[in-house]
Amino acid sequence: MLYGYFALSGDQKESRIFCLCGFIAEADDWNTVDHAWRALFANFNCDFDATACLHGTGIFQSWDISRRHTLLADLAEVLAHPVLLPMGAFVVRDHFSGLSPADRAILAAEGIASPLDVIFHDLTARVIRRAHQESEKISLLLDQEPQSATERYNILFNKHLSRYLLGPHLMGALAFSNARTCSYLQAAKMLGETVLSLETQNLVPEKASTSFTVPLGLQRIAEPIREQGRFDTAGLEKMIGRLKGISLNSIKPE
């Protein structure tokens, strides 16, 4: 049985990028990672908050940059375990809203009407493919924050899952939990915030000099997502081209 833990980042209105990232592994492998993760926090007196650590807010406001960087680098070593498969997708909001009406219509025909749809459409396909390759069922758990959006996320997930005949057989219902009490979801949140930080610097290079430098270990873990799950203008055009090709093939005469 495979288990995937995912968290959303950039869901604030002012964010230019929306992403959903996480890890997939078997239960025993998750337990191994969890023991190593918790060992780092043996003397930590409160719940770890990945977002606060990366941005130097909340409980990490009094920490200097070097101390935060060291902690995140240590956590990256835990997450670099080969049994964990990082997976994710992100959308540049402005690039999605800038699509032509014709391109939006092609996406709409596949039930893709928003940046969130792009993410769920892409990740659902890849998660199902992974589970099928491993001949395993998979259970997915998402961070429940913001709690007001969980119903909307569940509807989107079920919509895109229903496109696959094997989907309901390989995956159970989407579940939600509080990331503050789950190390697996904190790992997912840290990955998502890493992608968000790196890609925001990519969009706005002038901010790079004043931004927190993400440890190289975390950057390496995030690299596959930045390569495979990027939906900027080029990524969206590639998706549209693929969907257009599927549509054309479906109406070719025999």
Which residues lie closer than 8 Å to 196 by C-beta, 6 or more apart? Answer: 9, 10, 15, 17, 19, 90
Say if residue 196's pLDDT is above 90: yes
User: Nearest CA to 170 among 140, 120, 134, 131?
Assistant: 131
Query: Looking at the 3D structure of the chain, how many domains does it have?
Result: 1
Say if residue 84's pLDDT is above 60: yes
Q: Taking the C-alpha atoms of 119, 120, 126 and 132 in order, what is their torsion angle to the nearest 10 degrees?
A: 170
Q: Tens digits of per-residue pLDDT, 90-124?
A: 999 999 999 999 999 999 999 999 999 999 999 99
Domain span at residue 176? 2-250
| Position 172 confidence tier, pLDDT thresholds 50, 70, 90 | confident
Q: Tens digits of per-residue pLDDT, 203-248?
A: 888 776 667 899 999 999 999 999 999 999 999 999 999 998 865 4
CATH number of the domain at 101, please. Answer: 3.30.420.10
pLDDT number for residue 250: 47
Which residues lie closer than 8 Å to 84 by C-beta, 6 or more apart? Answer: 23, 24, 25, 29, 33
